[in-house]
Amino acid sequence: MNLQFGMLWPFRNPEWARVAWDDFYRCQLDLIVESEQLGFDHVWLTEHHFVDDGYSPSLFPIGAAVAARTSRIRIGTFLLLLPLHNPVRVAEDTATLDLISGGRFDLGVGLGYRRAEFDDQGIPARERATRMQENLTIVRRLLSGETVTFEGKHNSLRNVRISPPALQRPHPPMWVGGTAPRAIQRAADMGLHFLSGGPGSASRYDDGLRANGHDPQDFHVAATFPTYVAPTREQAWQIAAAPLRYMAAGYLQWTAEANGTPPGDVPALPSVEDIIGNQKMDFFGEDMLVGSPQDVIEKIEAHRAGSRLTHLVAGMALPGMPPDQIRSGMQLFARDVIPHFRRS
């Protein structure tokens, strides 16, 4: 299977670059339609809540809007925060979106890590793991067409069967994301595709698949990378540095909060000027895919040499980046990067 290429669309509209929300959504959807025309394989949507820049909190409506305006490109979630959701509702929405899209939907789910997203709406963050396991089991059974009776810690179902059913059989492709060993093992134990979360996670997933009697070649591994490509390395960093720094600062703060790290112990990020000057920025131990087309090709090749990867998810719709710059980046990526891997 050739390496598949998708783009991550977080629908972030930060205050320092804000446009009217309805215009912003319309523009992002227009760009997604263009990504299909350019030959990208996937649209990946991603969920967070209560973020000032509007980081997309409601993925199924976005997915339905994408489905209505496209005909080929697949639509997936990287990822839906499953412990926050009613599993019957997730199964019904997944089936409905799968029908609307003509069988083009992939459901990717994960545990989540920002405590405020859970505790602040009455879902204890300490229950994430048990809710995840229950919800994932229920969603899979419902999407497989079963009539489900289930009595658990968080869910009680009696003879529940969703209708209409999903189009894809036995169910739409399901993915599990995570970085912790237990999360990686969950994906392997359940025989689901993997949304990888850092160095070494794909090999641990493959080991887990083999331990469960599965052939890793039957399963997909996706990874997302902050990405921007321009005619030259200098131009790419000049354009992308400020949005990349903004994005990294947010993730760094959220991760520190999740780990209980005191604010004073959070490592400082380099300035935008230093990022441009150094033409480099670390992102949780991974290099960013930023540079000329040849730079980006070499970075992808290096990653693939060290880790199994079937689906590359390019985070090119960077927060605060003007639409014309997103467009030029994805056009160049589609013209000069994707064909290299199609040929090989």
Q: CB under 8 Å to 5, separation ≥6 — which residues?
A: 39, 40, 41, 42, 311, 312, 314, 333, 337, 338, 341
pLDDT value of position 197: 80
Sign of CA dihedral 253, 255, 258, 264: negative
Cβ contact 174:191 at 8 Å:
no
pLDDT value of position 156: 98
CA distance 344 to 342: 6
Q: Which neighbouring-strand residues pair with 105?
A: 75
What digits encode the pLDDT tens for the residues 31-64?
A: 999 999 999 999 999 999 999 999 999 999 999 9
Residue 29's closest CA among 53, 78, 63? Answer: 63
Average confidence (pLDDT) over 317-339: 98
Strands 105-110 and 80-81, by their bridges, are: parallel
The one-letter amino acid at 53: D
What digits encode the pLDDT tens for the residues 261-309?
A: 887 788 889 999 999 999 999 888 778 999 999 999 999 999 999 999 9
What digits encode the pLDDT tens for the residues 161-181?
A: 999 999 999 999 999 998 889
Whether the link from the prior residue into 216 is cis, omega within 30° of 0, is no
- Looking up tokens 């658990």, which residue turns up? 152
- Looking up tokens 């490509």, which residue turns up? 229
pLDDT value of position 198: 77
Identify the DSSP state of 317: S
CATH fold, domain 4-231+286-343, is TIM Barrel (3.20.20)
Q: How confident is the model at residue 344 (pLDDT cuts 50, 70, 90)?
A: low
Q: How confident is the model at residue 216 (pLDDT cuts 50, 70, 90)?
A: very high
Residue 204's closest CA among 176, 244, 239? Answer: 176
The one-letter amino acid at 276: I
Q: How confident is the model at residue 211 (pLDDT cuts 50, 70, 90)?
A: very high
Average confidence (pLDDT) over 89-103: 98
| Mean pLDDT of the residues in the chain | 96
Average confidence (pLDDT) over 134-163: 98
Question: What is the number of residues in the chain?
Answer: 344
Residue 202's closest CA among 45, 339, 111, 312? Answer: 312
